[in-house]
Chain A
Amino acid sequence: MDLALTDADLAFQAEVREFIDTYWPEDVRRARATSSRFEESRGHSPEVRRWIDALNERGWAVPNWPQAWGGTDWNPTQKYIWDKETAKAECPQLSAFGARMLAPVLYTWGTDAQKNEFLPKIREERMIWCQGYSEPGAGSDLAGLATRAVREGDEYVVNGTKLWTSGAHVADWMFCLVRTESGGKKQEGISFVLIDMKTPGITVNPVYILGGIHSVNEVELKDVRVPVENLVGEENKGWTYAKGLLTHERTGIAGVARSEVQLARLKRIAQDTGMDGGSLWDDAAFRTRVTELEVELEALSVTELRVLAQVAQGGAPGPESSILKIRGTEIGQAIAMMTIEAFGYYGMPYPEQTLIDNEGPIGNPYVMPTMKGMLYGRASSIFGGSNEIQKNIISKAVLGL
């Protein structure tokens, strides 16, 4: 057991920092962090595009992929350094649905044609994906999904309704779970298909969430014809692939590095917030609560390192990754709530975007992004398998109950 960085690690860290400072410089960082536009609905600015192009040129776009598809040869420490540094600078990430969730499924189970067609575009962020799993009747009970795909010649004909589909309104493609066989166990008979969002028969209806944010949608599929070559893996085996993918989704959701950034920001905001002639940071009660969060976060950060080390020695993250998801989202939510609390009365203003554009923010420039993040963040304990479901998984798979 050893936590120290070697000279080689330190040199790598310096290289990473220089890269970030060049392509994602301080002023761009701040502009994005204080933007009152919600991240998922604001698309790719020229700065984000430039960053992603630079990543691809340098070969650093998808460190975790196999090297054959553009991954790096970094050891776990280097990956850790990369994650930490990019999180600290709040560098934009490739859309998670493509790069973090679908890609592992494709490079593990996809056909050569699928890999060649999709992986480079995902890596370059030239094809945006959405995840069509949940349905009105199939939330936590995902295997209860009812969208049907019936084979007709070389095509599947898909009918059904997907709900809560993040980014469907901007996505080029959707990876989708469909029922290809009924009867039997409900986990069997599910297939994993890739659907071009331009296919006739697809209607995307916005679903607005708290704060007026448009990030999720209802996707209606009516006689949508999908070529059979867009089936991933074997028919009726989709559940296996989807589950593998969900484990990747869970570790991503932990957001330790992001929480560290938010916690540091919370402290700065508390230092800048006046209270009784001094600052809020001088208030023992507030400071104690922030510090408690910091200790919890540190514990989680080490737990995450342990999971990553396990992954590095081969194998996917196990049911332990549920810990990351549960604690990570709880801590993230608590930090967001405390930041809102730090703003005091200035947590309340929620002006129209045009007013902000014309007259600037009201109070601290971080209020709007924090509020939107706080509201959206309530969903983090609901999606990706709710925290209750995660606890069911731990009690079953780890505790043997």
Chain B
Amino acid sequence: MDFSLSEEQTLLKDSLERFIQNDYDFDTRRKVMAGEEGFSRENWKQFAELGWLAVPFAEEDGGIGGGALELMIVMEQLGRGLVVEPYLATVILAGGALKYAGNEAQKGAYLGAIIEGSKMGALAFAEPQSRFNLADVATTATADGDGYVLSGHKAVVLGGPSADFFVVSARTSGGPRDADGITLFLVDGDAAGLSRRDYPTVDGLRASEVTLEGVKVGADAVLGTVGGGHAVLEQVIDEATLAVGAEAVGGMEVCYKDTVEYSKQRVQFGQPIGKFQVLQHRMVDMFMEYEQAKSMMYLAAMRLDEGYGAVAKKAVSGFKVQVGKSGRFVGQQAVQLHGGMGMTEELNIGHYFKRLTMIDTTFGNADFHLKRYGAI
């Protein structure tokens, strides 16, 4: 048993920490968010130079061969900085699908470009009726000569506005919620018949509603096997669940530490509010929630690195249950203990609260993952 990081992992963590510390203060983030794209291409270039965009990809594909632990390290730090650049969408979601299902030609065309920062992607998996069920796919892909024609509506596609390409789940056979018969397709962002309605999300990201109206793709656009997309999606989403969970753990750390700090500074009734026992205990609860979530995060990352199967899935769901509950509590209490200041746009705390709230429903809320955990 060993909970310590290797030398390489420590270096990775340090490089992220330095970036968050030196180049990503709250004002910089605010300016970046206010821009046209809602994130900074300059930062993205820096991510590429620092090798972060290469983390989860195999060495033969130009990556550094990192696993779940490395992703966890990256995302925990990005969470501390509340980073808005579309790392999750491009590297973990779209990149993940390519990593697990892409053939040599597809990896060659996309992974190198992701790693050097010249292409961004997004995974279009959710639909208006699907909620968290990855098999609930109504978008259709109909065979057409050598290729396919795609039609449907993909909901809340994270990173959609900046995506040069999409990985789209569509039904090639089977009934409305059959796991079999779902196929993944690579679709160019400017494909004829694909349109997007772009918008900011409440927690500072960008997303799109993506509509596909008779979008024609060739046979070479099929990612993985025809009809076998669900298993790929499940694995990618599990990795992404670990990732947003780790992001939440990073956010919780900032929330509880900043709250403790604030409670030492803020004076009411002639004393720092941190002297009130009810607030002390509340902060202890925040701290405990953070530590509990962190434990489950380590478990999920280590299980995923041992190999993808029932044990790993269960650990991921357990982590998501814990992190959903802990993140909400820590975020809400951080706002509460900051009083009016916690409510302002100006202070970071409320922004962490918003992100932590939305992470609870990303890739399945606690109800969903409790059910999955119990069923495995």
Q: Which residues of B contact A333 (CB under 8 A)?
A: 332
Query: Which one of A139, A352, A363, A387 contacts B340 once the chains associate, using CB atoms below 8 Å?
Result: A139
Q: Which residues of A contact B129 (CB under 8 A)?
A: 274
Do the beta carbons of A359 and B197 come within 8 Å of each other?
yes
CB–CB A337/B328 < 8 A: yes
**Which among B268, B350, B351, B365 has the highest number of chain A CB atoms within 10 Å?**
B268
Residue among B202, B340, B357 making CB contact with A134, cutoff 8 Å: B340
CB distance B177 to A277 under 8 Å?
A: yes
Contact present for B361 and A344 (CB under 8 Å): yes
Task: Known A344-B131, A345-B155, A391-B278; judge A209-B199 contact (CB<8 A).
Answer: no
**Closest Cβ of chain B: how far from A279's Cβ, in Å?**
10
Q: Which chain A residues lie closer than 8 Å to B108 at the CB level?
A: none
Instruction: Determine if A375 and B155 form an interchain contact, defined as CB atoms under 8 angstroms apart.
Output: no
Contact B361–A210 (Cβ < 8 Å): no
Asked if A192 is an interface residue, CB under 8 A from chain B, the answer is: no
Q: Does A349 contact B (CB under 8 A)?
A: yes
B268's partner among A141, A216, A286, A359 (CB-CB below 8 A) is A141
Tell me whether A275 and B155 are in contact in the complex, defined as CB-CB below 8 angstroms, given that A375-B354, A378-B353 are known contacts.
no
Binary CB contact string for chain A from 124 to 156 against chain B (1 if under 8 A, 0 otherwise): 000000000010010111001000000000000
Nearest-Cβ distance from residue B212 to partner chain A, whole angstroms: 17
Give the one of B177, B202, B351, B370 with max A CB within 10 A: B202
Given contacts A163-B340, A348-B156, A379-B340, contact A276 B136 (CB under 8 A): yes
Question: Are A347 and B328 CB-contacts (below 8 A) given A134-B340, A139-B339, A379-B343?
Answer: no
Whether the Cβ atoms of B360 and A285 lie closer than 8 Å is no
**A229 touches B (CB below 8 Å):** no
A209 and B361 in contact (CB under 8 A), knowing A277-B177, A285-B367, A345-B155?
Answer: no
Let me know if B210 is at the binding interface, CB within 8 A: no
Q: Are B177 and A276 in contact (CB under 8 A)?
A: yes
Give bound CA distance, A355 to B128, whole Å: 20
B207 located at the interface, meaning its Cβ lies under 8 Å from any Cβ of chain A in the complex: yes
Q: Complex: how many Å from CA A228 to CA B61?
A: 80
Given A163-B340, A209-B345, A349-B156 in contact, is the A141-B130 Cβ separation under 8 Å?
no
Tell whether A232 is near chain B: CB-to-CB under 8 Å. Answer: no
Contacts of B156 in A (CB 8 A): 345-346, 348-349, 363
A388 within 8 A of B: yes
A216–B202 CA distance with the chains assembled, in angstroms: 20
The one of A277, A363, A378 in contact with B128, judged by C-beta atoms closer than 8 angstroms, is A363
The yes or no answer to A175 lying at the interface (CB within 8 A) is no
B202 and A211 form a contact (CB under 8 A): yes
Nearest CB of B to A354, in Å: 11
Q: Is the CB of A340 within 8 A of B357?
A: yes
How long is the Cα–Cα vector from A212 to B204 in the complex, in angstroms?
12
Size range of the interface on A? 35 or more
Other-chain contact of B131, A139, A273, A352 (Cβ < 8 Å): A273
Q: Is A386 an interface residue (CB 8 A)?
A: yes
Question: Cβ of A375: which chain B residues have Cβ within 8 Å of it?
Answer: 202, 354
Query: Which one of A137, A209, A337, A388 contacts B357 once the chains associate, using CB atoms below 8 Å?
Result: A337
Question: What sequence of 0s and 1s flags, for each residue 338-354 of chain B, a beta carbon within 8 Å of any chain A beta carbon?
Answer: 01101111100011011
In the bound complex, what is the Cα–Cα distance between A340 and B203 (angstroms)?
Answer: 13
Query: Closest CB of chain B to A280's CB: distance in Å?
Result: 7
- Asked if A351 CB lies within 8 Å of chain B CBs, one says yes
Q: Is A362 an interface residue (CB 8 A)?
A: yes
Are A362 and B361 in contact (CB-based, < 8 A)?
no
Mask of A333-346 contacts with B, CB within 8 angstroms, 1/0: 10001001101111
Choice from A208, A350, A355 contacting B344 with Cβ under 8 Å: A208
Chain B: CB-nearest residue to A274: B129
**Contact check: which of A210, A289, A363 meets B350 at CB < 8 Å?**
A210
Please measure, in the bound complex, the distance between the C-alpha atom of A109 and the C-alpha atom of B328, giving whole angstroms. Answer: 45
Once the chains are docked, how many angstroms separate the CA of A358 from the CA of B57? 42
With beta carbons under 8 angstroms apart, the residue of B126, B339, B357, B370 that contacts A285 is B370
List the B side residues contacting A274 at CB < 8 Å. 128-131, 136
Contact with A along B125-148 (1 / 0, CB 8 A): 010111111001000000000000
Asked if A283 is at the interface (CB within 8 A of a chain B CB), the reply is yes
A133 to chain B, nearest CB (A): 12
Q: Tell me whether B236 is interfacial, beta carbon within 8 Å.
A: no
- Say whether B371 contacts A285, CB under 8 Å: yes
- Chain A residues near B269 (CB, 8 Å)? 140-141, 144
**Is residue A36 contacting chain B, with contact meaning CB distance below 8 A?**
no
* A164 part of interface (Cβ distance < 8 Å): yes
Tell me the B160-197 residues at the A interface (CB within 8 Å). Answer: 176-177, 197
State the CA gap A283–B332 with chains docked (Å): 26
B367 nearest CB neighbor, chain A only: A285
- Shortest distance in angstroms between A339's beta carbon and chain B's nearest beta carbon? 11
A371 at the interface (CB under 8 A from B): yes
Q: Give A64 Cβ to nearest chain B Cβ, in Å.
A: 28
Q: How far is it, in angstroms, between the C-alpha of A140 and the C-alpha of B339 when the chains are bound?
A: 9
Please report the C-alpha to C-alpha distance between residue A363 and residue B156 in the assembled complex, in whole angstroms: 9
Chain A window 354-379, contacts with chain B (Cβ cutoff 8 Å), 1 for yes, 0 for no:
01000100110000000100010011
Bound Cα distance from A203 to B297, whole angstroms:
50
Q: A274-B131, A348-B201 are in contact. Are A209 and B343 (CB under 8 A)?
A: yes
- Give the residue of A355, A362, A378 whose beta carbon is less than 8 angstroms from that of B343: A378
| Contact A340–B361 (Cβ < 8 Å) | yes
* Chain B residues, CB < 8 A from A164: 340
On whether A351 and B200 interact (CB within 8 A), knowing A379-B343, A382-B340, A382-B342, the answer reads: yes
CB of A207 closer than 8 Å to a CB of B: yes
Residues of A with C-beta under 8 A to B268: 139-141, 144
Give every chain A residue within 8 A of B238 (Cβ-Cβ).
none
Report if B358 contacts A (CB, 8 A).
yes
The interface bits of chain B over 69-111 (1 if a CB of A lies within 8 angstroms of the residue's CB, else 0) are 0000000000000000000000000000000000000000000
For B201, the chain A residues whose CB sits under 8 A away are 348-350
CB within 8 Å of A: which residues of B? 126, 128-133, 136, 155-156, 176-177, 197, 199-203, 205, 207, 209, 267-270, 273, 276, 278-279, 328, 332, 335-336, 339-340, 342-346, 350-351, 353-354, 357-358, 360-362, 365, 367, 370-371
4 closest A-B pairs by beta carbon, nearest first, are A274-B129, A350-B202, A345-B156, A351-B199
Known: A211-B202, A362-B197. 9 other contacts (CB 8 A): A273-B131, A341-B365, A345-B362, A348-B358, A350-B201, A378-B332, A378-B342, A382-B336, A386-B336
Q: Could you name 29 residue pairs across A and B whose Cβ atoms are closer than 8 Å?
A: A139-B268, A141-B268, A144-B269, A163-B340, A207-B346, A209-B343, A210-B344, A274-B129, A274-B130, A277-B136, A280-B131, A285-B367, A285-B370, A286-B367, A333-B332, A340-B361, A341-B361, A343-B361, A344-B132, A348-B202, A349-B199, A352-B199, A362-B199, A362-B209, A363-B155, A363-B156, A378-B353, A382-B335, A388-B276
